[in-house]
């Protein structure tokens, strides 16, 4: 009888210990009170960062810390919440952490990552999202937002409301949709695609990547894009039509707005240009210039 009780007690001990072993020391959960329109600053070297806006005046951090991670710091003071994945001193690269951060939806958010993928949705405040080699995917609704990556791809979705947004990448591709307001796009070798809502201003710069801008401008909207060897594709309309000034040193200018209207830039030298006036004076304007890339321009 005593032996039965011993084995039963041992079995109960093992069963009770299993959930603790399953959670493991790498699982984290931290919760702090937060200002509903405060600032949340997040830093992680490697892994993933998933930011979600919610209807609570608190910040909740959950996730898993891999081997090589020393700890997770979460602090809140003076309307600002700081979240940092800390690696041991002298170990600045090894150690993955996958964290999910729920923030008050009215917060502004700043994320800094090296090789961590970054995602964000449901945040209404300004966002400043930066990653070196990780991918960035974000729903952006806040004014004065900035999304940057060096070699990772960037996907940004707007909600159609006017904002000021800057997006840049060196070699990663850019995919922007439902953006309205004022947009600044910079890429070196990565391709960029911009699909606009009713936008007031678009500025685009590319070196060797292709840049495509499509959608609607406001009546007084502006598009100003430049490239070196990348192709420029513009499918832009506006109330009252658009005026266009397009130049290419050695590339072609084509499209429905260019048909039969392209001129040589010089009688004896290379280059071509297009000067097109809108139906309504003082209306929307497009300026495009490239060195060796082609330009395609159309209003449909």
Tell me the pLDDT tens digit for each residue of 39-89: 999 999 999 999 999 999 999 999 999 988 999 999 999 999 999 999 987
Per the domain annotation, does 41 fall within a domain?
A: no
Q: How confident is the model at residue 279 (pLDDT cuts 50, 70, 90)?
A: low
Tell me the pLDDT tens digit for each residue of 216-265: 999 999 999 999 999 999 999 998 889 999 999 999 999 998 887 887 76
Tally Cβ neighbours within 10 Å of residue 288.
26
Tell me the pLDDT tens digit for each residue of 280-292: 667 899 999 999 9
Per the domain annotation, does 43 fall within a domain?
A: no
CB–CB of 285/223 below 8 Å? Answer: yes
CB–CB of 200/217 below 8 Å? Answer: yes
pLDDT of amino acid 297: 95
Selection from 1-10, 13-22, 221-230, 264-273 with the highest mean pLDDT: 221-230
pLDDT at 1 over 60: no
Tell me the pLDDT tens digit for each residue of 179-222: 999 999 999 999 999 999 889 999 999 999 999 999 999 999 99
The average pLDDT across 168-180 equals: 96
Per the domain annotation, does 89 fall within a domain?
A: no
pLDDT of amino acid 4: 42
Determine the Cα–Cα distance for residues 98 and 59; give it in Å rounded to an integer: 16
pLDDT of amino acid 91: 61
DSSP β-ladder status, 263-264 and 272-276? antiparallel
Q: How many helices (H) and strands (E) does the chain have?
A: 1, 24
Q: How many residues comprise the chain?
A: 300
pLDDT of amino acid 206: 96
Per the domain annotation, does 68 fall within a domain?
A: no
Task: Name the domain count of the chain.
Answer: 1
Distance of CA 237 to the CA centre of its chain: 25
pLDDT of amino acid 209: 96
Determine the Cα–Cα distance for residues 57 and 161; give it in Å rounded to an integer: 25
Tell me the pLDDT tens digit for each residue of 15-40: 333 333 333 348 999 999 999 999 99
pLDDT of amino acid 158: 96
DSSP β-ladder status, 136-139 and 39-44? unpaired
**What pTM, to 2 d.p., does this model score?**
0.86
pLDDT at 9 over 80: no
Per the domain annotation, does 103 fall within a domain?
A: no
pLDDT of amino acid 16: 35
More confident residue, 25 or 155: 155
pLDDT of amino acid 121: 98
Per the domain annotation, does 269 fall within a domain?
A: yes
pLDDT at 150 over 80: yes
The average pLDDT across 104-111 equals: 98
Determine the Cα–Cα distance for residues 184 and 196; give it in Å rounded to an integer: 12
Q: Could you identify the residue written with the tokens 């405040």?
A: 125
pLDDT at 13 over 50: no
Identify the domain containing residue 244 by its residue range: 153-300
Per the domain annotation, does 45 fall within a domain?
A: no
Q: How confident is the model at residue 7 (pLDDT cuts 50, 70, 90)?
A: very low
Per the domain annotation, does 284 fall within a domain?
A: yes
Give the DSSP H/E element, type plus range, for residue 8: helix 2-23
């Amino acid at each position: 009888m005593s032996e039965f009780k011993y084995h039963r007690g041992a079995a109960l001990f093992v069963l009770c210990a299993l959930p603790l072993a399953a959670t493991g020391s790498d699982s984290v959960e931290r919760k702090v009170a937060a200002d509903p329109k405060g600032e949340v600053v997040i830093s992680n070297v490697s892994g993933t960062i998933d930011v979600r806006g919610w209807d609570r005046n608190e910040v909740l951090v959950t996730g898993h810390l891999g081997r090589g991670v020393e700890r997770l710091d979460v602090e809140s003071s003076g309307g600002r919440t700081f979240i940092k994945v800390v690696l041991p001193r002298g170990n600045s690269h090894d150690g993955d952490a996958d964290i999910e951060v729920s923030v008050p939806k009215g917060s502004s958010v700043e994320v800094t990552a090296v090789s961590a993928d970054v995602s964000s949705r449901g945040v209404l405040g300004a966002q400043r999202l930066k990653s070196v080699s990780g991918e960035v995917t974000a729903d952006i609704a806040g004014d004065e937002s900035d999304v940057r990556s060096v070699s990772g791809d960037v996907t940004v979705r707007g909600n159609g409301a006017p904002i000021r947004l800057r997006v840049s990448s060196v070699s990663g591709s850019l995919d922007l949709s439902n953006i309205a307001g004022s947009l600044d796009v910079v890429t070196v070798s990565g391709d960029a695609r911009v699909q606009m809502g009713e936008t007031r201003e678009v500025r685009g710069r590319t070196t060797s990547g292709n840049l495509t801008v499509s959608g609607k401008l406001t009546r007084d909207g502006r598009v100003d894009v430049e490239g070196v060897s990348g192709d420029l594709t513009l499918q832009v309309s506006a109330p009252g039509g658009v005026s266009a000034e397009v130049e290419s040193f050695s590339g072609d200018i084509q499209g429905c707005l260019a048909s039969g209207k392209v001129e040589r830039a010089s009688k004896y030298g290379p280059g071509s240009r297009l000067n097109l006036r809108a139906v309504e004076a003082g209306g929307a304007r497009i300026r495009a210039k490239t060195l060796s890339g082609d330009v395609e321009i159309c209003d449909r």
